[in-house]
Structure 1
Amino acid sequence: MLTATSPVTRAGLDAIALKPAECDVSNAESLDVETIVIDYEGRSHLPEPAVLESLAETADLFVTTPVRADGFDPLGDETLLETLPDDAGRVLVAGHAAYLTDDERARAVSPRLGAALETDPEAWVGTEGLERIAMATGATQFELFSRSTERELRSLRRAGFDGRISVYAPAVFTDDADEILGAIGPYLARRRPVSSALPEGARTDASAQGRAREILLEAADDYALAGPEADVRERTERLREAGATTIVGYPARGLDTVLE
């Protein structure tokens, strides 16, 4: 149960996503949260089985598993599945190209999602880049937050979709512009509409100036949950009203910022 003093609770988040290349995920055992999602950042960064087992004892654990990657491929090598706790949930994704080999990138996604869901029907399905395929599965949708998320959620609910929808977003609990850009500026700059609007060669971190700084700070509202905890809570409540069932925040300033 979350406490009244938890930053996660004050911001209205339901879950926290952790990147094992950036932090010691075992420290999340003391995190006051009900659900933890471990992002996949390559085979070498997959936490040890004992760490995952321990996390699964303290929270509902989900692990992102790219269905095209060796070790998680339901139509090939899925030996890494054996290292996951029996009670850990999965987030099925196509897999970011940066973490895949050429052979893995060439593998078809749709049949692999279908095969994975046959053996794990309770898994979530990441929608980035394959929204129609993900929707066709009927599984819990794992949406990357953007400026259009609220509108899309309302449209899905009006169209009769009654499945679960989880929304994932970088979270930065501060109104300090330098802190926001230092934590998520480069992430914002990679979003296509932002990238196309930025001046060529512009800095994208806390040192951003002029028009680039204005664009990035506007993008922080469109692509992240950034601001004081009370402001973020207003955003998460609007997402729930629009149809989201779970709000997953990635603590972009570090795990220690949510370990109160």
Structure 2
Amino acid sequence: MLQGVTLSQAGIDAAAIKPAEVDVERAADLAVDTLAVDYEGREHLPSPATLDALAEQTAVRVTTPVRADGFDPHGERDLAESLPESVRRVLVAGHSAYLTETERERAVAPRLREAAARSREPWVGTEGIERIALAVGGTQFELLGPATDRRLRALRQAGYEGEVALYAPTVLTDEEDAVLDALGEYAARRGPVRSALPDGASTDAAADGRAREVLSQAVRDYGLVGEVGTVADRVDELRDAGADRIVGYPARGLDPFL
């Protein structure tokens, strides 16, 4: 484990924080200029006071699913209105795991458009709604994947001049077991990876044979993996392809970066 190595040394300038996993206040010590607090359900949303205190130390954004009660610009928006003035938003359609059946059925496009109009300098999550997100505008917030470089180059060649922020789970080690324990399950949820894995295969360090081969490639397709220099080189490639900001999710927690 690379104790003391910071995300910034790997070329990463923002960090995604999951409040169900870590104490968000500790994230203020990360060597990045922006923190993006993921939405993992209303019960895990940090209080306005906590977010405001964090924003006194660094730039803070909060992921807000526009179909979810509390953030729905066409319905209940008490959570959105409770966000401090100091906090910016990442607008997303919302992961189905954190939405009720009713919320999942709500139309995305008009809500995303309205939420963007109510927000200052929003980032707009593109997962599953790429064309809608591009039409809405704002910083396009994409997930790293095997086609990312090609997609970014195509966007830039087509004349897109807006900002792109790229989200990537990050593990600063080349110890394969540690990498698979941290990112194997995440990568295995992606459709192409799921299809390539043998039925019933382990998705962590216990994976072997064909499953381990598939996962070892997949974690590098969908995440930033390796010693700090290796990751820094990959980040440079992504910036050359057209990414403006790299948002790393510390997949093994905050300790390796503090």
Q: TM-score range by the shorter chain?
A: over 0.9
Q: Which residue of 2 aligns with 1:179?
A: 178
Counterpart of 2:9 in 1: which secondary structure? helix
CA distance in 2, matches of 1:184, 1:6: 19
Listed one character per residue, the Cα deviations across residues 32-77 of structure 1 (whole Å, up to 9, x for unaligned) are 2210000000000001222111111111101000000000001111
For residue 7 of structure 1, report the CA deviation from its aligned partner.
1.6
Mean alpha-carbon deviation: is it higher for 82-91 or for 211-220?
82-91
Is 2:16 the counterpart of 1:17?
Answer: yes
Q: Is the 8 A contact 2:152 2:241 kept in 1?
A: yes
Q: Is the 8 A contact 2:6 2:30 kept in 1?
A: no
CA distance in 2, matches of 1:161, 1:236: 20
Q: Which residue of 2 aligns with 1:224?
A: 223
Q: Which residue of 2 aligns with 1:65?
A: 64
Aligned alpha-carbon RMSD (Å): 1.0
Is 2:84 the counterpart of 1:85?
Answer: yes
Q: Which residue of 2 aligns with 1:129?
A: 128
Count, aligned residues = 255
Q: Which residue of 2 aligns with 1:254?
A: 253
Q: Which runs of 5+ in 2 are unaligned?
A: none
Counterpart of 1:171 in 2: which secondary structure? strand
Amino acid at match of 1:68: R
Amino acid at match of 1:145: L
CA distance in 2, matches of 1:85, 1:245: 26
Q: Is the 8 A contact 1:26 1:55 kept in 2?
A: yes
Counterpart of 2:19 in 1: which secondary structure? coil
Listed one character per residue, the Cα deviations across residues 81-118 of structure 1 (whole Å, up to 9, x for unaligned) are 23312021100000000100111011000000110111
CA distance in 2, matches of 1:6, 1:161: 34
Q: Which residue of 2 aligns with 1:75?
A: 74
CA distance in 1, matches of 2:181, 2:8: 24
Q: Is the 8 A contact 1:121 1:139 kept in 2?
A: no
Amino acid at match of 1:133: I
Counterpart of 2:56 in 1: which secondary structure? helix
Listed one character per residue, the Cα deviations across residues 141-172 of structure 1 (whole Å, up to 9, x for unaligned) are 00000011011101000000000000001000
CA distance in 1, matches of 2:70, 2:196: 39
Scaled by the length of structure 2, the TM-score of the pair is 0.97
CA distance in 2, matches of 1:43, 1:165: 27
Task: Output aligned runs, 1:134-213, within 5 Å.
Answer: 134-213=133-212
Q: Which residue of 1 aligns with 2:41?
A: 42
For residue 6 of structure 1, report the CA deviation from its aligned partner.
4.9
For residue 29 of structure 1, report the CA deviation from its aligned partner.
2.1
- State percent identity of aligned pairs: 58
CA distance in 2, matches of 1:142, 1:80: 21
Q: Is the 8 A contact 2:124 2:137 kept in 1?
A: no
Q: Which residue of 2 aligns with 1:242?
A: 241
Q: Is the 8 A contact 1:17 1:249 kept in 2?
A: yes
Q: Is the 8 A contact 1:29 1:54 kept in 2?
A: no
For residue 121 of structure 1, report the CA deviation from its aligned partner.
4.7
Q: Which runs of 5+ in 1 are unaligned?
A: none
